[in-house]
Amino acid sequence: MQRPRTRAPGVATVADVAREAGVSRATVSRVINDSPLVTPQTKDLVQDAIRRTGFVVNARGRALAIGRAETVGVLITEPLDELFEDPTYARILRGVTEGLSGSGTLPVIFQASTEAERALALRSFDRKAVDAVIHLTPYRDPELLDALAGTGLPVVLCGQVENGAAPDPRFSSIYADDVAGARLAATHLAESGRDRIAAVLGPLDNPATTDRLQGFRDVLGPRLPSERVLFTGWDTSAGIRATQTLLELFPEVDAILAGSDRIAVGAIAVLNAQGRAVPSDVAIIGFDDHPIAASAVPALTTIAQPLQRQGELAAHTALQMIAGQSPTVSELDMRLVVRASG
């Protein structure tokens, strides 16, 4: 039954190598995992045999034997379109890859935008097809989090934490403090003497939005009344629409705190179209340090998240949890990047 059809020629196993080298399978295994308990000459012997037979360790056999798949699942539940438009995930992913490199553990991406995909990914996790999960988009979704906790796998939440909420003790989390970042932006604007400040934020139901708003308010208090706070989508066209509305409601505005760099770019476009100069008439601060921030005209002052660093930390944390460590919480600092726009 094992091997229903004839074995493909050339898929050598440790047994084949052992025979070829005239040693035991245990010795071959030791060489593979370069154990110090092997004589240089037997080691050479085995390595020669490995070369001759074209042997490659079989991941499935190894996984069963060592009790690990040497794989971490990177879960992305974000809708595809957003994912493929927003370099945020690309950068975090790069960090994860770096952080895992050298560990012998491979990051493997689980795209789970739909309910069905989510179910499949969870099934894999339940079955222990990976050793840990790094969740890149842990937006409020208690059911998913419960399901993840239910897998019994180490889980690292990366990049989001609702401010105020105590971190979930079931998971590790890595996040940058949106509230503190927003404070940086608001402080910068306030110190520059602007006082007719408005905010154009992302979707109200997104924790990043509420956190950023709170940061703005921490600094500005009554100088940022509710009627000057607009909520819209994350992208440029949403920024355009919202800014048009804003200028009707509050034409005296001399500074705009944007919820994202793309929103900020939309705001600049509208202001320019209406003959208002940025930053002399209206200062603008973005958020995220998206690539367009540097190339925008004028270049955007913005708040940078250490995305790649987040990914690296998430990877390290996952590895430590696989090794038995308890969940930890890491908070990273946001950074104000001053450019021309405000």
Partner DNA sequence: CTGTTAGCGCATTCAA
Partner DNA sequence: TTGAATGCGCTAACAG
Contact residues toward DNA (CB under 7 A) are 1-4, 7, 11, 13-15, 22-30, 32-33, 37-39, 41-43, 55-58, 60-62, 64-67
Distance (Å, rounded) from C-alpha 320 to C-alpha 325?
6
Q: Least distance from C-beta 92 to a copy of itself, angstroms?
A: 11
Q: Kindly tell me which of 33 and 114 has the beta carbon lying closer to DNA.
A: 33
Residue 108 interacting partner from DNA, a copy of itself, none (CB closer than 5 to 8 Å by kind)? a copy of itself
Closest CA to 125 of 75, 76, 169, 174: 75
Instruction: Report CA Rg, the chain.
Output: 26
Distance (Å, rounded) from C-alpha 88 to C-alpha 265?
17
Residue 14 interacting partner from DNA, a copy of itself, none (CB closer than 5 to 8 Å by kind)? DNA
Q: Kindly tell me which of 185 and 307 has the beta carbon lying closer to a copy of itself.
A: 307
Residue 324 interacting partner from a copy of itself, DNA, none (CB closer than 5 to 8 Å by kind)? a copy of itself
Q: 141 exposed, middle or buried (CB, 10 Å; 0-12, 13-18, 19+)?
A: middle
Residue 142 interacting partner from a copy of itself, DNA, none (CB closer than 5 to 8 Å by kind)? none
Residues lying near a copy of itself in the complex (CB under 8 A) are found at 2-3, 5, 8, 10-11, 56-65, 67, 69, 71, 80-81, 83-87, 89-91, 93-94, 97, 101, 106-111, 114, 116-117, 120-121, 124, 126-129, 152, 291, 324
Structure tokens at 140: 């409020």
Q: 128 exposed, middle or buried (CB, 10 Å; 0-12, 13-18, 19+)?
A: middle
Q: Least distance from C-beta 71 to a copy of itself, angstroms?
A: 7
Angle formed by the axes of helices 25-32 and 14-21, nearest 10°: 110
